[in-house]
């Protein structure tokens, strides 16, 4: 084996040259990889003994894409497309040997090989859309030439990873190799290609599938229409579609030009920067400076859950889905029965949609054991409390659990707001107490706020983070404080949304501005969905807020067919003249001065106080880094990914601008708008949240 450089090796086995990429962690196409590959291909092409070439990767995966860390920096070395030309024009058969994930630029390189061999566990995809880009190294032109236009539209705009057997069925992979035998299989394929003098098949030349779609613009029109909701606000999916249209309507080289233009346009725009930031932010959250990766963890083989309500049931499903047995405890048999049957119904619905089999439903239900006594949790390694949001009740549960569960077991609370330290103090084992704040519906939402209390031990934190990964969540470590990171910031937005209505905006104005910004729904639609009567009681209601008045009129949200909005039988919200009248009366009674409020003010008033609150969370050390706060908002509250997260957005619009507005509002409306010291400092120093390390 000869090292071409530190990441590329070239060797020969008989008449077959083997080029190996070894650039951990994911063999991304960095400048070194591109240079080494170019040189290796040139050498192998020039070598008289070599009759065919296998391109293979060491480590856990084939090339997983371009090196995203290079984006936005001045280009270095040979370009990816030039490397691809070298590969495609090699005068000897080139066989790409795939394992792991052949993604983005990695798959694009493989598409320039003349043949592709893969082990069955391989997945192929063009996920650039997820980072606000399009496949910019020929993927939009070559993929439809193999898999057809419809499949290319689906793969490129979803970015999904397609399993090898499906790729083989579509012709994207020529041969499946036995698992673990990739190298031998690829070498055998190469020898066969030489022996049979197989053609140097270039994907660029195979036009039948794109020509079949020519003169059928409805394919694209229908696709756009069917996916309008999913693509709303994002620029990359539309650019991907336009590239595939170019593949259909233009000669290959012209299509490549179009792809380049649109790629560069996306790369310059703020959306791709935001989405790339989000990609790395979601990988940073796992890194906790004072909890090193080698921190020991507690093995979690059985989980206990206290409370079989909506949260408890949803949380239980996460563990059952990961094959971890769960014991759920409820106080009353009817409540337990109801909780378990809701879980079963959820699984049956999933099975009905074809996303699991009847057998899977039974397997999961078998992992869930109901009980009416906390004593049955004695052998659990982790117990999650999901009872009513009341400090006394929670403390009582923890006191009891402490006496029952084995030493070393972790006690977790799912509280959304309450003081985890106070709950921990109810036990003799505060170092084993932690917060695990799941978001509703807990079996669907990806976010988990892991709440570190003052005494929580490092192994307990490490275990929680590891377990979150195991059940497919994205975990963010936060400190104790009312509402932790997410709900604490949400409270700012909610307060301003309500205040804006008193000042002259209508709920649907506020919701429209925030949905146009990119949220899936606005604060008032969200309130209607959750139910306006959460925490409301008829006996104590005094018509003191618009919400109370609505509840008193039995307009309690979607479930009663009316709330801030009126709803039809399809639950479509319509601005309500009744609500408008209630609001006008309320304003008149409270003597509020009503004025015209611009969309710009609505947006700024809802978002800037959140950014300011995020800064306070950071300066208090309740979140490790600004990007962790963004991960909370991206995964728990529907913050539009193409706007990075509230902290990224603050940096994007300029912290001096946020600060100026906060000061202005503070002078008009009081200290709720007082700027955080961190915001003041960063703005003064012309720095960003991203600069705070």
Q: Residue 339 Cβ, how far from ligand 3H9 at the closest point, in Å?
A: 33
Is 131 or 478 the residue whose CB approaches ligand 3H9 more closely?
131
422 carries an active-site annotation: no
Is 135 or 148 the residue whose CB approaches ligand 3H9 more closely?
135
Q: Which of 28, 52, 129, 386 binds ligand 3H9 (CB under 6 A)?
A: 28
Tokens at residue 20, please? 């190996």
Q: Which of 35, 84, 88, 128 is catalytic?
A: 128
What residues between 132 and 151 interact with ligand 3H9 by CB under 6 A?
133, 135-137, 139
CA–CA dist 693, 688 (Å, integer)? 11
67 makes contact with ligand 3H9 (CB under 6 A)? yes
Is 84 or 419 the residue whose CB approaches ligand 3H9 more closely?
84
Q: Which of 21, 96, 129, 131 binds ligand 3H9 (CB under 6 A)?
A: 131
DSSP string, 509-564: HHHHHHHHHT-SS-HHHHHHHH-TTTT--TTT--S-SHHHHHHHTT--BGGGTBSS
Binding mask 76-105 for ligand 3H9 (x = CB under 6 A): ----x--------------------x-xxx
Q: Residue 230 Cβ, how far from ligand 3H9 at the closest point, in Å?
A: 19
Closest CA to 475 of 447, 445, 444: 447
Is 25 or 289 the residue whose CB approaches ligand 3H9 more closely?
25
Q: Which of 31, 45, 68, 351 binds ligand 3H9 (CB under 6 A)?
A: 68
Q: Which of 283, 345, 352, 571 binds ligand 3H9 (CB under 6 A)?
A: 283
CA–CA dist 253, 274 (Å, integer)? 31
CA–CA dist 82, 93 (Å, integer)? 18
Q: Residue 514 Cβ, how far from ligand 3H9 at the closest point, in Å?
A: 29
- Do 646 and 607 touch, CB atoms closer than 8 A? yes
Is 167 or 551 the residue whose CB approaches ligand 3H9 more closely?
167
65 makes contact with ligand 3H9 (CB under 6 A)? yes
> Using alpha carbons only, what angle is made at residue 482 by residues 478 and 483, rounded to the nearest 5 degrees?
65
128 carries an active-site annotation: yes
CA–CA dist 466, 473 (Å, integer)? 10
- Do 379 and 302 touch, CB atoms closer than 8 A? yes
CA–CA dist 276, 231 (Å, integer)? 17
Q: Within 13 Å, how many C-alpha atoms sit on residue 396's CB side? A: 7
378 makes contact with ligand 3H9 (CB under 6 A)? no
**Cβ burial 634-662 (10 Å sphere, 16+ → b, else e):** bbbbebbbbbbbbbbbbbbeebeebbebb
Is 609 or 690 the residue whose CB approaches ligand 3H9 more closely?
690
- Do 132 and 642 touch, CB atoms closer than 8 A? yes
Q: Point out which span in 129-137, 299-307, 362-370, 646-654 binds ligand 3H9 (CB under 6 A).
A: 129-137
Q: Which of 84, 88, 128, 259 binds ligand 3H9 (CB under 6 A)?
A: 128
Residues that bind ligand 3H9 (CB under 6 A): 25-26, 28, 61, 64-69, 80, 101, 103-105, 108, 127-128, 131, 133, 135-137, 139, 280, 283
List, by residue number, the catalytic residues.
108, 128
């Amino acid at each position: 084996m000869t090292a071409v450089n530190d990441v590329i090796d070239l060797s020969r086995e008989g008449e077959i040259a083997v080029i190996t990429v070894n650039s951990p962690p994911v063999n991304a196409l960095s400048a070194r990889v591109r240079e080494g590959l170019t040189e290796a291909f040139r050498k192998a092409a020039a070598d008289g003994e070599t009759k065919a070439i296998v391109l293979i990767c060491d480590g856990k995966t084939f090339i997983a894409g371009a090196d995203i860390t290079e984006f936005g920096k001045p280009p270095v070395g040979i370009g990816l497309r030039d490397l691809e030309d070298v590969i495609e024009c090699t005068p000897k058969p080139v066989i790409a040997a795939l394992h792991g994930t052949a993604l983005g630029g990695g798959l694009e390189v493989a598409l320039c090989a003349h043949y592709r061999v893969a082990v069955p566990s391989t997945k192929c995809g063009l996920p650039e859309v997820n980072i606000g880009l399009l496949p910019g190294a020929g993927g939009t032109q070559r993929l439809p030439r193999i898999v057809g236009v419809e499949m290319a539209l689906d793969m490129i705009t979803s970015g999904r990873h397609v399993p090898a057997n499906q790729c083989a069925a579509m012709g994207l992979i020529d041969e499946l190799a036995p698992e673990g035998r990739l190298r031998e299989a690829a070498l055998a394929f190469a020898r066969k290609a030489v022996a049979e003098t197989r053609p140097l098949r270039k994907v660029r030349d195979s036009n039948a599938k794109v020509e079949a779609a020519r003169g059928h613009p409805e394919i694209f029109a229908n696709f756009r229409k069917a996916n309008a909701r999913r693509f709303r606000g994002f620029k990359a999916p539309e650019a991907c579609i336009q590239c595939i249209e170019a593949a259909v309507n233009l000669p290959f080289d012209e299509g490549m030009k179009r792809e380049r233009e649109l790629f560069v346009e996306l790369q310059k725009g703020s959306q791709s920067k935001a989405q790339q930031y989000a990609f790395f932010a979601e990988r940073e959250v796992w890194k906790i400076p004072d909890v090193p990766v080698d921190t020991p963890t507690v093995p979690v083989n059985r989980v206990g859950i206290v409370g079989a309500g909506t949260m408890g049931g949803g949380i239980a499903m996460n563990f059952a889905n990961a094959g971890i047995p769960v014991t759920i405890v409820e106080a009353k048999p009817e409540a337990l029965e109801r909780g378990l049957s809701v879980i079963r119904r959820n699984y049956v619905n999933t099975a009905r949609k074809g996303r699991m089999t009847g057998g899977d439903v039974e397997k999961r239900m078998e992992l869930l054991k109901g009980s009416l006594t906390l004593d049955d949790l004695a052998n659990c390694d982790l117990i999650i409390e999901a009872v009513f949001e009341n400090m006394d009740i929670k403390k009582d549960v923890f006191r009891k659990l402490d006496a029952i569960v084995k030493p070393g077991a972790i006690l977790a609370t799912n509280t959304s707001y309450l003081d985890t330290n106070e709950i921990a103090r109810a036990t003799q084992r505060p170092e084993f107490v932690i917060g695990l704040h799941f978001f509703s519906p807990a079996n669907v939402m990806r976010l988990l706020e892991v709440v570190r209390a003052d005494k929580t031990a490092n192994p307990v934190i490490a275990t929680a983070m590891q377990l979150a990964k195991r059940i497919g969540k994205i975990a963010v470590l936060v400190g104790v404080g009312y509402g932790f990171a997410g709900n604490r910031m949400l409270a700012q937005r909610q307060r301003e949304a309500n205040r804006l209505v008193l000042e002259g905006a209508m709920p649907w104005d506020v919701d429209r501005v925030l949905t146009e910004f990119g949220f899936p729904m606005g604060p008032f639609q969200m309130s209607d969905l959750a139910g306006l009567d959460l925490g409301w009681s008829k006996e104590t209601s005094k018509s003191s807020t618009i919400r109370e008045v609505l509840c008193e009129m039995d307009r309690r949200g979607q479930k009663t067919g009316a709330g801030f909005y009126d709803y039809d039988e399809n639950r479509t919200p319509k601005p309500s003249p009744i609500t408008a009248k209630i609001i006008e009366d309320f304003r008149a009674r409270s003597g509020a001065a009503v004025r015209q409020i611009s969309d710009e003010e609505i947006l700024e008033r809802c978002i800037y106080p959140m950014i300011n609150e995020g800064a306070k969370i950071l300066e208090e050390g309740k979140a490790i880094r600004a990007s962790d706060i963004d991960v909370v908002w991206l995964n728990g509250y529907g913050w539009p990914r193409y706007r990075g997260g509230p902290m990224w957005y603050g940096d994007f619009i300029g912290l001096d601008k946020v600060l100026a507005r906060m000061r202005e509002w503070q002078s008009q409306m009081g200290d709720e708008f007082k700027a955080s010291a961190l915001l003041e400092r960063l703005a003064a120093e012309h720095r960003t949240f991203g600069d705070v390390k």
